[in-house]
Amino acid sequence: MVETSLEKIFLHQKAASLRLRKQDISVRLEFLSHLEKAIQNNLEDISAALVSDFSKPKAETLLTEIFPVMHEIRLAKRNLKSWTKPKKVKAPITMLGTQNFVISEPRGVCLIVGPWNYPFQLCISPLICAVAAGNTAFIKPSEFTPATNKILIKIIKEAFPEEIVAIVEGGPETTQELLELPFDHIFFTGSTRVGKIIMEAASKHLSSITLELGGKSPTIIDSSANLKIACEKLVWSKFINAGQTCVAPDYILVQKNIINDFKSIFIATLNQFYGSSDLEKKNSPDFARIITQKHTERLQELIQNALSLNAEIITGGEVDLQNRYVAPTVLHKVDPHATVMQDEIFGPILPLIEFKDIHEAIHFVNERPKPLALYIYSQSESNISAILKETSSGGVCVNDSIIHLANPHLPFGGVGPSGIGSYHGVHGFRAFSHEKAVLRQSWLGILLRVTYPPYTGLKMKI
């Protein structure tokens, strides 16, 4: 049988991963330093690539693509020694004399499949965890970010030989080809739909998986919330990256008695951030474009469908297909059956839904698939506690949005349809490690003779 080029690289990586196991962690630390240096050497080009791919503002690239990965590398380098130390555990009295510990061993050869929305960070962050844990890896970035992929390839080649990290460009068919290989772990970031395809393919080889998926992340804002602060945080977190963020507030549940105040403060904040006229907003250098024309058309259809079901546009609504521009758009009186309330929006469209009391808001969330994130804006301890207890989501922010993912001490991941597993910091190291249980017997082990056959005499009287 003739090997494909992917199979050849896979076999080289398999051999390299066995060598890596034997080597001291100084080898991993060196690779992490190479990666850090390669990123530093290419900072300007990373920003330029993201401008080219979807006009992502440079400040947003620094904040959401560069800082998180630099922080992740430095955290891994600082903590690798303690993360890799065998962890002692206790033993029951019947195992007197034994030593018991857990060793984090590398999984082996890993596959990292990335999405287009944070195309640099979402390929490099999992890679840092994979390398820190002693693995080799293939990266398959999204086909929709050609400029970023070019710089990703340059950085990977500067930092790693191909037998440690390989990067393969292509669309779904390339992922399918890669999925034929018996990876030890697959780390996928993308849609819930494709997550199911990945999980099914992983079952063929029983590869372990981490699935970082999407969904509709709700925000609940009650009448006790500080509206000015809440609106600043919500406008920022919804419209950063033009709403193309997995944890962006997808829709907002607003308590009925504050809806008018909320609308006016939200719009005033939007105008303050991006300009007060439609034209100013369109020309704002701080507002990104939609990744492709096809994705822009999808967003246009979401607005049209909501309007056909009697939703009202409070602000925005403009879609310029040619320039891949969708204005920051707020919709009110949205029918829950409208597609904008069925599908993950993943763009700068924000539906507002009213609720009377907190139980109604909780019920609304619980009727839908478990989201990746949930945001609560409230000063009421009883409301906060009820939402935390009675809903399920990958993560929660109270009186803020999206920033929980910037704390590497918190695990970041979904639950059910929004994902399986988590990463960031030590959680990422664990995702790419197998926790091997080790029991080491001492001379006292001879006492266990009482458990051996033949089961006669005293043994039968126990």
Which of 66, 109, 113, 290 contacts ligand NAD by CB under 6 A? 113
292 binds ligand NAD (CB under 6 A): no
Shortest Cβ distance from residue 250 to ligand NAD (Å)?
9
Rule CB under 6 A: say whether 285 interacts with ligand NAD.
no
How far is residue 341's CA from residue 344's CA, in Å, rounded to a whole number? Answer: 8
398 three-state secondary structure = strand
Under the criterion CB under 6 A, does residue 433 sit at the interface with ligand NAD? no
| Binding residue (CB under 6 A) for ligand NAD from 7, 45, 105, 143 | 143
Instruction: Report how far residue 27's alpha carbon sits from residue 120's, in angstroms, rounded to the nearest whole number.
Output: 24
Q: Which of 441, 454, 234 is nearest to 350 (CA)?
A: 234
| Minimum distance from residue 237 beta carbon to ligand NAD (Å) | 14
Q: Which of 212, 344, 381, 435 is catalytic?
A: 212
Q: Report the DSSP pairing between strands 251-255 and 218-221.
A: parallel
* 192 vs 315, beta carbon nearer ligand NAD: 192
Q: Tell me the angle at which helices 146-159 and 43-54 cross, rounded to the nearest 10 degrees.
A: 160
120 sits near ligand NAD (criterion: CB under 6 A)? no
DSSP letters along 164-219, please? TEEE---SHHHHHHHHTS--SEEEEES-HHHHHHHHHHHHHHT-EEEEE-----EE
**Cα 131 from Cα 109, distance rounded (Å):** 10
Distance CA 265, CA 230 (A): 9
Cβ proximity to ligand NAD, 4 vs 257, nearer residue: 4
Token reading at 246: 């997995």
- 171 to 200, contacts with ligand NAD by CB under 6 A? 171-172, 175-176, 189-191, 194, 197
* Residue 345 touches ligand NAD, criterion: CB under 6 A: no
Report how far residue 221's alpha carbon sits from residue 333's, in angstroms, rounded to the nearest whole number.
Answer: 16
149 binds ligand NAD per the rule CB under 6 A: no
Applying the rule CB under 6 A, the residues between 50 and 89 that interact with ligand NAD are none
> Is residue 212 a contact point for ligand NAD (CB under 6 A)?
yes
**Distance between CA atoms of 70 and 82, rounded to whole angstroms?**
20
406-425 residues near ligand NAD, rule: CB under 6 A: 414, 419
Q: Give the binding range for ligand NAD (CB under 6 A) out of 6-14, 34-42, 63-71, 109-117.
A: 109-117
- Under rule CB under 6 A, residue 114 binds ligand NAD: yes
Q: What is the closest distance, in whole angstroms, from the C-beta atom of residue 146 to ligand NAD in the complex?
A: 13
Least separation in angstroms between CB 447 and ligand NAD: 50
Query: Binding of ligand NAD at residue 395 (CB under 6 A)?
Result: no
Q: Is 111 in the site for ligand NAD (CB under 6 A)?
A: no
- Residue among 242, 281, 285, 286 at smallest CA distance from 116: 242
Q: Which of 234, 245, 293, 294 shows the shortest CA–CA distance to 269?
A: 234
Reading phi first (left if > 0) and then psi (alpha if -120 to 50, else beta), residue 293 is in alpha
Contacts of 282 (CB under 8 A, 6+ apart): 318, 320, 325, 327
Is 115 a binder of ligand NAD (CB under 6 A)? yes
Taking CB under 6 A as the criterion, the residue among 213, 227, 402, 426 binding ligand NAD is: 213
Beta strands in 114-152 (DSSP E): 136-140
Q: Which is nearer to ligand NAD, 113 or 181 (CB)?
A: 113
Q: Which of 167, 344, 373, 374 forms a contact with ligand NAD (CB under 6 A)?
A: 344
| CB nearer ligand NAD, residue 193 or residue 459 | 193
Whether residue 212 lies in the annotated active site: yes
> Judged by CB, which is closer to ligand NAD: 247, or 306?
247
Report yes or no: 318 and 280 within 8 Å, Cβ to Cβ.
no
How many whole angstroms separate alpha carbon 361 and alpha carbon 260? Answer: 18
Number of residues that bind ligand NAD (CB under 6 A): 27
Residues 155 and 44: beta-carbon distance below 8 Å: no
| Site for ligand NAD, residues 348 to 377, rule: CB under 6 A | 372
Closest CA to 210 of 198, 222, 220: 198
Is residue 342 a contact point for ligand NAD (CB under 6 A)? no
Residue from the set 64, 135, 142, 422 that interacts with ligand NAD by CB under 6 A: 142
Question: Taking CB under 6 A as the rule, does residue 6 contact ligand NAD?
Answer: no
DSSP state of 339: G
List residues binding ligand NAD (CB under 6 A): 113-117, 122, 140, 142-143, 171-172, 175-176, 189-191, 194, 197, 212-214, 246, 344, 346, 372, 414, 419
Q: Which residues are catalytic?
A: 212
